[in-house]
Amino acid sequence: MFSALLLLALAASARPSLLSDILTAFETAVDCASCHSVLLPPLQTAAHLGNDVFVSTLTTVCQTLKLAVDDVCAGEFHRSGPILAHSLRAFSVDGTTATKFCDAVFGLCQPPRVIPFTVPFPKAAPAIPKQFTSTGKAPFQVVHFSDVHIDRKYTVGADANCTKSICCRNFGDETGPATEPAGPFGNAHCDSPADLSQSMLRAIAGGELGFKAKFAVFTGDTVAGDTWLVDENEASRGLVDWNVDMLDGLTMTVYPSLGNDSVPVNSFPRNTTVTTLDPQWVFIIEKAGWKPWIGAAGADQVAHFSGSYAQVVPGTNLRILSINTQYWYKQNFWIYDSDTSIADPNGLLAFMVEQLQAAEDLGQRTWIIGHIPPGKADIVHDQSNSYDQIVQRYKNTIAAQFFGHSHKDEFEVAYSDYSNRTASNADSIVFIGPALTPTSGNPAFKLYDVDSDTYEILDAKTFITNISDPSFQTTPTWELYYSARESYGPLVGHLQAAEPLNAAFWHQLTEVFQANETAFQLYNTRISRGGAVSACTGYCKTMAICELRAARSEDNCDVSTPGIQLKKRATRGESRASDAPHEGRFGCNAGVSRLMTMFLAKRSA
């Protein structure tokens, strides 16, 4: 009792000097060494004084340094502060975990070297891999949509011009008439209104676009980007409502994967973490919501394997392996809560191996689907490296991979030898689905033509609705934007009729991009579906091509920099740097680390 009181008194009295220590540390930390020696110690001191002290101190820091408007500071640290504090209490200031933390949260360190880990496989790859041969049967179609970010509080007429990371809501601190009233179907400064998502579902199911898909793939991120406000109640309802919307709106099976859909954003503690903030509620919602599509067995896996499952598409020889990538995500602040490296958090790499081995044994092909693409800078290098070992071992079984998260229409190529990235070493292809949310370009989805024998991809077509079109706010129309086969096929060379758009094809396309500026600029426009185009030449182009040639994050050429997110919310009229091909490390992530890196960049500018 006495010591608790003493601690309280100490906490209270420590606060003013602690606050100034932290403010000074923010002003003086300039690199990785000073992150360890100057910035982390006072933050750890605050964390040891308890979550409440930590949250209130960091909220004051955020407000004093004007990292965001006051309510956003308060909301973000109220939500993510306890997780940061939990991890700050757990790692030693000079260890590898601390370096990872300094990279992820402040952009002050580069990611440390990959911690060697050899993924165990039950069997060696067969000496003679099974041949999957196309017989020229008619292909079938599959729809892929992603990052819907539906804002159930979107308010028609509310201001689309605001000081938060998403607008079009009646925020309490907004007074006066709207300078840019939100239209019924969406705005580039706001997440998707439900009517926009309904419009997309009708376009997919309605048949007017001339296709009838066999099934759909949804690669995650359901709820809106109000990361400083969202609570478990709102997020739960968002997940449930979207499952119902997809079930009612689409007449086909949907194979979903989990995005960052937890509260606080991205928070998925590993099973080695002792906490009351368990995201099991997310798995329970999805277990029930996805069951109509993936059956009772798939639904049980969702609950058992932290949101992951694998199911064979009925009537096919294709296994869908859906992986929850959040445990490999740098912005999941729970993963920094130990100095001991955990090679395979929650056993998801082992789950992948088990499923891929089963597919190989049965002569099946597999599609891997998930939220965060394995080569992105925001995937921890360690797990990305392990993931790549799995892809290399089962490359003959994996026909293609499908991810979302970046909001961009893009791709990643995997190689058997990353020191020698050639077409003949290219051996797996990651298709990245563009977002529905209009915050990063025109709302879009993809449609694949799939070889009925090999399950490889014959064409990837992108469909959009154009938010700048005068009819968009009354009757959004969806249209074919481009076909990769038609547009890129002739640039790459002679594609035979049954030849798929495989990893070698996409590698060759990156060679075309290198040599042909017009072709690269066409791709650069298509990233945002012509909706938020950023100039990209020279260094930017070199980096963009390197990123396309990396499905393993240690090879994507990314360099951590404080404040690469600085231009994230560009003001009206400017192109948005966040949509440049080399957008930077946090993808679409908002939240506390964005606030802190923004500050560090501003200070050094």
Ligand X SMILES: *[C@@H]1O[C@H](CO)[C@@H](O)[C@H](O)[C@H]1NC(C)=O
Q: Which stretch binds ligand X (CB under 6 A): 39-47, 90-98, 462-470, 548-556?
A: 462-470
Q: How far is the CB of 519 from ligand X (least distance, A)?
A: 4
* Residue of 219, 346, 401, 462 interacting with ligand X (CB under 6 A): 346
Q: How far is the CB of 227 from ligand X (least distance, A)?
A: 5
Q: How far is the CB of 453 from ligand X (least distance, A)?
A: 27
Query: What are the residues whose beta carbons fall under 8 Å from the beta carbon of 513, sequence distance 6 or more?
Result: 519, 520, 523, 541, 545, 548
Give the chain's radius of gyration (CA, Å).
24
Q: Do residues 404 and 221 touch, judged by C-beta distance below 8 A?
A: yes
Site residues (CB under 6 A) for ligand X, limited to 261-320: 261, 265, 271-272
Q: Do residues 240 and 192 touch, judged by C-beta distance below 8 A?
A: no
Measured from the CB atom, the residue of 420 and 474 that comes closer to ligand X is: 420
Site residues (CB under 6 A) for ligand X, limited to 89-148: none
Angle, helices 280-304 vs 232-249, to 10°: value is: 50
Give the closest residue to 328 by CA, choosing from 100, 604, 156: 100
Q: Do residues 31 and 108 touch, judged by C-beta distance below 8 A?
A: yes
* Residue of 516, 535, 559, 574 interacting with ligand X (CB under 6 A): 516
Residue 225 touches ligand X, criterion: CB under 6 A: yes
Distance CA 264, CA 78 (A): 9
Measured from the CB atom, the residue of 180 and 453 that comes closer to ligand X is: 180
SS (H, E, C) 293-315: HHHHHHHHHHHHCCCCEEEECCC
Residue 467-506 contact track with ligand X, rule CB under 6 A, x = bound? -xx---------------------x---------------
Residue 566-595 contact track with ligand X, rule CB under 6 A, x = bound? ------x---------------xxx-----
What are residue 344's DSSP bridge partners? none
Q: How far is the CB of 377 from ligand X (least distance, A)?
A: 15
Measured from the CB atom, the residue of 392 and 466 that comes closer to ligand X is: 466
* Residue of 17, 92, 424, 514 interacting with ligand X (CB under 6 A): 424
Distance CA 410, CA 397 (A): 23
Express the helix, strand and coil content of the chain in percent, nearest 5 each.
40, 15, 45
Residue 166-205 contact track with ligand X, rule CB under 6 A, x = bound? -------------xx-------------------------
Residue 87 touches ligand X, criterion: CB under 6 A: no
Residue 230 touches ligand X, criterion: CB under 6 A: yes
Q: Which stretch binds ligand X (CB under 6 A): 109-117, 120-128, 356-364, 420-428?
A: 420-428
Measured from the CB atom, the residue of 7 and 491 that comes closer to ligand X is: 491
Burial class (CB in 10 A: 0-12, 13-18, 19+), 342: middle
Site residues (CB under 6 A) for ligand X, limited to 142-171: 149, 161
Residue 376 touches ligand X, criterion: CB under 6 A: no
* Residue of 21, 103, 151, 221 interacting with ligand X (CB under 6 A): 221
Q: Which stretch binds ligand X (CB under 6 A): 30-38, 102-110, 122-130, 466-474?
A: 466-474
What are residue 181's DSSP bridge partners? 159
Q: Do residues 512 and 502 touch, judged by C-beta distance below 8 A?
A: no
* Residue of 28, 422, 514, 604 interacting with ligand X (CB under 6 A): 422
Q: What is each CA distance from 366 to 292, 399, 456, 583, 584, in whole angstroms? A: 21, 6, 10, 30, 30
For residue 572, the 8-state DSSP code is T
Mapping DSSP to helix (H, G, I), strand (E, B) and coil, where does residue 478 land?
strand
What are residue 520's DSSP bridge partners? none
Burial class (CB in 10 A: 0-12, 13-18, 19+), 169: buried
Instruction: Encode 318-333: b = buried (16+ Cβ within 10 Å), e = exposed.
Output: bbbbbbbbbbbbbbbb
Measured from the CB atom, the residue of 588 and 600 that comes closer to ligand X is: 588
What are residue 448's DSSP bridge partners? 142, 460
Residue count at the site for ligand X (CB under 6 A)?
Answer: 37
Residue 518 touches ligand X, criterion: CB under 6 A: yes
Measured from the CB atom, the residue of 44 and 257 that comes closer to ligand X is: 257
* Residue of 93, 277, 522, 570 interacting with ligand X (CB under 6 A): 522
List interacting residues with ligand X (CB under 6 A): 149, 161, 179-180, 221, 223-225, 227, 230, 235, 260-261, 265, 271-272, 346-347, 420, 422, 424-425, 442, 466, 468-469, 491, 516, 518-519, 522, 529-530, 572, 588-590
